[in-house]
Amino acid sequence: MRKIIGILETFDDIVYTGISAFLIIISIVIFAYAFYNFFDGLLLHQSVVHLTLRVLEDILLILILLEIIWLVLNYLKSRSLTVEPFLFIGIISGVRKILIIGAHSVEELTMQKVKIYEYETIISLTVVVALVISLYLIRKSRSLYLKKKECEQS
């Protein structure tokens, strides 16, 4: 039975490593694509604001992918998961969504679409604030726990 578990754990490690390598490749491709699109857009005299928002969206997507890679690597090292990387991914995703909405609002829109984008922005902002508060509370509680444990050992 232990041999089967060992084989499954090795297979699990290989799959996670492959996924991480693939995410790194995707991140590099997205970075190159963002770089190319930005300078191509400048040459075509597109709006610098719109180009900057698109590059920022791509960079935030790369950050999300890097957080996922870090999460996988951390899991492979420690065989445990913490909630903080998921919160970081959620925060970055929420900010990215707000930027995407902002990029759309630069375009010509109807009043109905503006209302929809307003609601989406409020919801995304609420989610980001909730995730930041959660991250703060987790770190604060961990700090208090470590202080308490340190005092008990003294």
Question: How confident is the model at residue 49, as a pLDDT?
Answer: 81
Pair (5, 74) in one structural domain: yes
80, 108, 142 - which closes a domain: 80
Same domain membership, residue 76 and residue 2: yes
Helix H, strand E, coil C: the string for 21-84 is HHHHHHHHHHHHHHHHHHHHHHHCCCCHHHHHHHHHHHHHHHHHHHHHHHHHHHHHHHCCCCCH
Residues 73 and 10 in one domain: yes
pLDDT tens digits, the chain, 154 residues: what are they?
888 888 988 998 899 899 999 999 999 999 999 999 999 999 998 888 888 888 988 998 999 999 899 888 888 888 888 888 889 999 999 988 888 877 666 566 677 777 888 888 899 999 999 999 999 999 999 888 888 888 888 7
At which of 33, 59, 80 does a domain end?
Answer: 80
Distance CA 10, CA 110 (A): 55
Distance CA 59, CA 137 (A): 27
Q: What is the pLDDT of residue 105?
A: 60
Is 76 found in the same domain as 86? Answer: no
pLDDT of residue 31: 95
86/134 same-domain check: yes
| Residue 59 and residue 88 in one domain | no
The whole domain housing 115 covers 82-154
Domain count, the chain: 2
Same domain, 10 and 67: yes
Say what the pLDDT of residue 29 is.
Answer: 96
Query: Given this model, what pLDDT does residue 100 score?
Result: 80
pLDDT at 33: 95
- What local confidence, expressed as pLDDT, does residue 107 receive? 60
Last residue of a domain, one of 39, 64, 80: 80
pTM: 0.74
- C-alpha 68/C-alpha 62 separation (Å) is 10
